Amino acid sequence: MNLGTVLEFRSLKYKMDMRKLITVFATLFLTLSVFSQETYEDLLIVKADADWEKLIKQAEKYTVKGSTSKDAEPYYYMAYGLYKISFEAERDDQYKNAYKDAFTSIGKMLRYDKSGDIQSKYSEFIDEMKLSLLEIIQNEVGNEEYRRAFGWSMRLYKFGRDYIPALYLEGALRSRNNDLTTARIKWAEADKLVQEANIKSWSEADKKLMMLALYQSAKALVDVRQVDAAKEIMDIGAPYFEDDKRWQENYDEIVN
The answer as to whether 3 is a domain residue is yes
CA angle (108 as vertex; 110, 195 as ends), nearest 5 = 40
DSSP 61-86: HHHHSTTTTT-SHHHHHHHHHHHHHT
Task: Say whether pLDDT at 136 is over 90.
Answer: yes
Give yes or no: residues 155 and 229 share one domain: yes
Please state, for a pLDDT cut of 70, what percent of the chain lies above it. Answer: 86
pLDDT (tens digit per residue) in 138-193: 999 999 999 999 999 999 999 999 999 999 999 999 999 999 999 999 999 999 99
Give yes or no: residues 181 and 233 share one domain: yes
Based on the structure, what is the number of domains in the chain? 3
pLDDT tier at 37 (50, 70, 90 boundaries)? low
Give yes or no: residues 52 and 1 share one domain: no
Out of 72, 89, 121, a domain closes at: 121
pLDDT at position 17 is 54
pLDDT at position 22 is 52
Structural domain containing residue 227: 144-255
The answer as to whether 131 is a domain residue is no
Please state, for a pLDDT cut of 90, what percent of the chain lies above it. Answer: 83
Give yes or no: residues 49 and 20 share one domain: no
Closest CA to 106 of 123, 131, 92, 94: 123
> Helix H segments across the chain?
3-36, 41-48, 52-64, 73-85, 98-112, 117-121, 123-142, 146-153, 164-176, 180-194, 204-223, 227-241, 245-255
The answer as to whether 170 is a domain residue is yes
Give yes or no: residues 82 and 160 share one domain: no
Give yes or no: residues 150 and 240 share one domain: yes
pLDDT at position 209 is 98
The answer as to whether 242 is a domain residue is yes
Task: Say whether pLDDT at 27 is over 50.
Answer: no
pLDDT (tens digit per residue) in 187-210: 999 999 999 999 999 999 999 999
Give yes or no: residues 57 and 160 share one domain: no
The answer as to whether 130 is a domain residue is no
Task: Say whether pLDDT at 251 is over 70.
Answer: yes
Closest CA to 174 of 192, 189, 196: 189
Q: What is the mean predicted confidence (pLDDT) over 116-131?
A: 97
Instruction: For residues 178 and 182, give the distance between their C-alpha atoms in angstroms, rounded to a whole number.
Output: 9
Task: Say whether pLDDT at 13 is over 70.
Answer: no
The answer as to whether 204 is a domain residue is yes
The answer as to whether 218 is a domain residue is yes
Residue 209: partners with Cβ closer than 8 Å, 6 or more residues away: 130, 134, 156, 165, 166, 169
Read off the pTM. Answer: 0.84
Task: Say whether pLDDT at 3 is over 60.
Answer: no
The answer as to whether 149 is a domain residue is yes
Task: Say whether pLDDT at 33 is over 90.
Answer: no
pLDDT at position 256 is 87
Give yes or no: residues 95 and 159 share one domain: no
Give yes or no: residues 151 and 244 share one domain: yes
Task: Say whether pLDDT at 5 is over 70.
Answer: no
pLDDT (tens digit per residue) in 86-113: 999 999 999 999 999 999 999 999 999 9
pLDDT tier at 20 (50, 70, 90 boundaries)? low
Q: What is the mean predicted confidence (pLDDT) over 4-33?
A: 47
Q: Which of 8-12, 65-69, 249-253 shows the highest mean pLDDT?
A: 249-253
Give yes or no: residues 13 and 52 share one domain: no
